[in-house]
Structures are given as structure tokens and as C-alpha cells.
Structure 1
């Protein structure tokens, strides 16, 4: 056996969402910041993302994270997030998996019962508190970059549905948020394909009709995610709701989504439906849960913003090496529209 490339992968999931972590085999990645390193991957190393996420080695339901040296002295490590079609600035579920992989494999020393670490994402520094017991990370709570609402209660024209009322918010990615009830959705597993198809239509319409440019980094421009939000309720006095996040190219996030939860916290605060420090439990279509709260208030440019804290538990499922045979006819894989909505 002779491979032209070997990549070390820690396979993980959180809330059912597969977020694998590459810990070796990618070589040097230039860039003055992790954001710059992300751009280098996008512009010069996208073959790695395709190798790992496209078939026959990957699937549309997976994400991958490339562990890189941090550029900020406050951070122990950096990581570049790669999803099916893009490199997001931030991802909460991926952050939980990266932190768990780094601690449980010993790349960062674990201290029980609490290990505090700082990681550098493309979005900036992410402060993380990991609860640990018997060598296992039992909870990961991260402080996200500030989240804010671009628009509250804005009209959106959607073919076949008329005029909808939606919210638009930043939680690490730009979301259009729509009430599931107004679209007849119960956010149940048997609706997954319908949710995805409608979510893609909604995202396309929102991106065309509603501008969303990050006020401090204009490279984060445009709505890229759809979040369907279920009704709020109180369970034992705790604010609880279900959601469904549709990510490109049109598949369902299995977890409650960390950036989607952050965006929803910003919207809830803008609507006066949650207080600073109040617990909010977000549940996915498959019933997995993240706990969250608004840690404090701040500003992002002229926008009122919140600093979210989101927690969940990630699990390592496999340690593997992914190799590329130089004779393999699919060095960057392939996509087919039976599972990839925009296969080629």
C-alpha cells in the first residue's frame, strides 16, 4: 500500500451531528490569523475538504475541522471549520467536538473537574469551559462571539406561500428565522425532507430580498442558513423550544445548532422574551438538546448584541487515518443528487 496523503481524523458527534476533527497530516497553513488560514483553505486547499467530505470517504451529513496553530497568544489551538459547501466563521457543534477531541486525545492537558481553554476560530477567540470526569469530557460550554438581530419581523415574499414574517440574525453565521407554525411544520423527523426543501427556498428568497452584512467584517455577507423555530414553552420553569436548521446544500442539522441557538437568543432578547442569565433549552428534530443563556449584553457596530453561552456533550466515535491512493480516480470525491441536493 502506498498513499500520497494521510490525514489523522478523530471522528465525533454532538447531538447526533457528525463533526470530525483532523489532528494531523495537513502540513503548514499560512495566515496571520485563523481567519486568514480559513481563506487559505478556501482558496488553495479546498481539495482537503472535498477529500474528507465528498463521497466515497465522506457524506453530506458531515463536517470537518482542521486543527491549526493559534495565532493569538491567548489561545492554545486554532481550528478551521469546513462544511458541505462552505467555511463558516463559527460553529457551536463543531467547537464542542474540537474541544472534546483535543482534551480526550491529550493534545491539550485535561484538568478535572474543570478545564478552561481558549481556541481561535475564524470568528475570533472562543472561551470554553469543559467539565471532565475520569478522563472524559462530560460537558462543553462555550462563550460565542456576540450575536445580534439584523431584522425583526420583516416581510419576505416566498413563492407559493405569499408574504411571510421572518427575523434575520447573526449567531456566527447569518440566519433567516421563520416560525414553523406559519408554514405548517411540526419539526418532526418524518418532515426532514420537506423542511430541507422549504429551507433552501426560504434561504434563497431571504438572501435576495434582505441584505445582511456583518458590521465589523464585511466578508461575512449574505444569509446562508435557515432556522425554523418552534413555539416557546416552559418545562419546570425553564424556557424550552424546538428548532430545525437547514444548512447548505440543503440538509438538516441533527443537533440544535450552536450558532442557530445563538441567533435565536439574539432574536428572543430583541423581542423581550428572555432575560440575561435565563436558561434556554433548545431541542433538535431528533430530540437532542443544548442548554444556553445570554451571558451579557454588548454592541456590534450599531447593533444591540448578546454574548451567548451554549453547552452540550460531544462523543468520540472513532480514531482513523484517511488515505489517498495516487491511482484513486476520485481524489476529491464526487457528489450525487440522490443525497447531495446539488450533486455533480
Structure 2
């Protein structure tokens, strides 16, 4: 349907249409039309192209007044893998991620409901190409309605354990670094006298940001597949309960430019399961509950298969959660609207 809005000023951008969703409280703005052509033979080349040529649109859609500091987006693009049903680039306050589990959960439902993939009962497989690789997604579908989503990760692995870094204000701290489609540093919050379930989010954010800064100064990351994957996405503070248990274990993820994840973090759960499996704290097929320190929402995670990623011993991890619709939107930018190009207030 044509928009009833008739701008008084000339629009300097196309009308960009989105579907608004959330997974575990973490927002997802899915961009379904309105972007210019995205060039590149591979998805990593497309990611580079939008960084270099279309970043003003990321700022317009993620930043205020249309978004906010912790907004998250997903941009649907053409896939270069014949087995992929859809392909996606991930957007946030700093740039472009290589993997996002909460986005995958919501996108699985969207792919069924928008008929990108014909639904079948009781579960429909949707193959989603991400910058980190192909993610197999499985969407519940019963009585004509989509439901919960689980996905199988790209190979996830423990990169390094017990690395000592100098954290401003805290001295030398040991961290683990694990990969779940993106690299994360892991450390127990009580090392800093904090609790992921009850400490102020601002305190947790500040500590996690300091850890990320320290790791980026100290550690050179390596990924066997592509150098574009070799960056630390963020730090995940945990409750320290890494040994398998039937009780939920809590964590909070601070990523990109001190952006706080509201949900348990799908790629973070993937990396944390890989870490726990590498330390023999969890076995294949042992399902765990992961609780968001921000709002108590839950994901499940388990290692389902051992594999390799280059020389790294790795696992394929299954993560499950629920995504929900919150609305639809059409966004534009008028010529005289300088502020409308995007700004952040924290």
C-alpha cells in the first residue's frame, strides 16, 4: 500500500521498508526493501561494500531518531551459496557483525511467514547465509503458524584459555576467548565484584568494555576461513557456572561500541558452549539453559556434533529461542533534515 505521507521537503533517500521484531527482548529491524544495489560476489565482499558505500543508511536506521544506541538490524541480500534460502548482513551501532543468533531466530520465522521458504509441518528447514557461513535453521510450523526456532551454528571453538590481560582499573585479569560465529572474551563477573543478575547494567557495561579494550590491545585473533572474521566482537560476563547443570546459567554480552544485548546472545551462547565443551564441562547432547542477565529471558544451547575448523577442535552448537513481531515501518530522509541522518545520545 502506498504511504499516505507526502513530505513537504524533497526526500534524499529511497523509502526503506522494514519489519520490526525482537528475540528475547533484543530488537531486530529487518530491512526488506529500499536499499540500493549491493555489489560483491561473496557475502563478505557485500559486507565490505556496504561499509564503504552505504554506511549512511546504517546510521539513518540504527541511530536516533529512528533507532537508539542499542538498536540492531538485519539487511536481506542476495546469496552466493546455492543451498542458502536467504542471506543477511547484520547492523549495529558500530558497524557490521559476522553472526547474530537472535537475528537468526527471528529471521527463521520471517522466512516462513513471508514465504521465502514454503512451510512444512511440523518443522521447516531454512538455510541462512551469514558473513560467518551457512547457518541451518529449523522453524516450528503447526496449524499454519510459525513458532520456536533452533539453529545449528558454524563450527565453534575455544580460541584460547586463561589469557592474561591488563584491564584498566583492575590490573591483570585472565580471560577465555571463544568463537561462535564471532569472537568473544569470557570472564566471570564476580572477578570485578559484580553479579550479572543483580548489578547495575551500567557497571557491567563499563567493565565488559574495559575487558574488550584490553583484549584488543593484547591478543591477535586468527580464524582459519577468512581474515575478515578475525576481530573481537565483545565481552560476555558470566555467573561462572560453566559446568553442566539443569539450572539456568546467566550471562550478559556487551558488544560493538558498548552495546548491551538484552537477550542471552545466540552467537555468545554458541561460543560459550564451545568453551564449556573444550574444557570437558559439558558433553555432546547435554542441553543447557542460558539466562539473560538483562531481562531473564532464556535460550537453550547444546553441542550436537564434533568437527574441525582448520586446526581447531570445534563443535556444531544448537541454540533455540523465540522471535516475535512488533510492527512494520517505512523510513525516509528529507533533504533539510540534518539531524535525521542519525545521531547517538547515551
- CA change 1:189–1:52 in 2 (3 A) is farther
Q: Secondary structure at the match of 1:262?
A: helix
- What does residue 274 of structure 2 align with? 266
1:130-159 deviations in whole A, cap 9, x for unaligned? 012344322111111111111112222223
Distance across 2 between alignment mates of 1:321 and 1:73: 31
Task: Write out aligned runs for 1:235-250 (5 A).
Answer: 238=246, 240-250=248-258
Task: Write out aligned runs for 1:24-173 (5 A).
Answer: 24-173=33-182
Total equivalences in the alignment: 336
Q: So what's the TM-score if we normalise by structure 1?
A: 0.93
17, 31, 41: which one aligns with 1:22: 31
> After the TM superposition, which parts of structure 1 deviate over 6 Å for at least 4 consecutive aligned residues?
none
231, 248, 263: which one aligns with 1:222: 231
Q: Secondary structure at the match of 2:262?
A: coil
Contact 1:93-1:258 at 8 Å conserved across structures: yes
Residue 296 (structure 1) shift: 0.7
Distance across 2 between alignment mates of 1:253 and 1:218: 25
- What does residue 260 of structure 2 align with? 252
Distance across 2 between alignment mates of 1:261 and 1:87: 19
Contact 1:233-1:239 at 8 Å conserved across structures: no
Unaligned runs of 5+ in 1: 340-344
Q: Secondary structure at the match of 1:132?
A: strand
Unaligned runs of 5+ in 2: 1-5
Contact 1:21-1:101 at 8 Å conserved across structures: no
Contact 2:63-2:71 at 8 Å conserved across structures: no
Residue 65 (structure 1) shift: 0.6
Aligned-pair Cα RMSD in Å: 1.7
1:114-138 deviations in whole A, cap 9, x for unaligned? 1111111111111110012344322
Contact 1:298-1:307 at 8 Å conserved across structures: yes
Residue 233 (structure 1) shift: 7.7
- What does residue 277 of structure 1 align with? 285
Contact 2:181-2:267 at 8 Å conserved across structures: yes
Residue 257 (structure 1) shift: 0.2
Residue 196 (structure 1) shift: 0.5
Q: So what's the TM-score if we normalise by structure 2?
A: 0.92
- What does residue 342 of structure 1 align with? none
Contact 2:65-2:340 at 8 Å conserved across structures: no
Residue 277 (structure 1) shift: 1.2
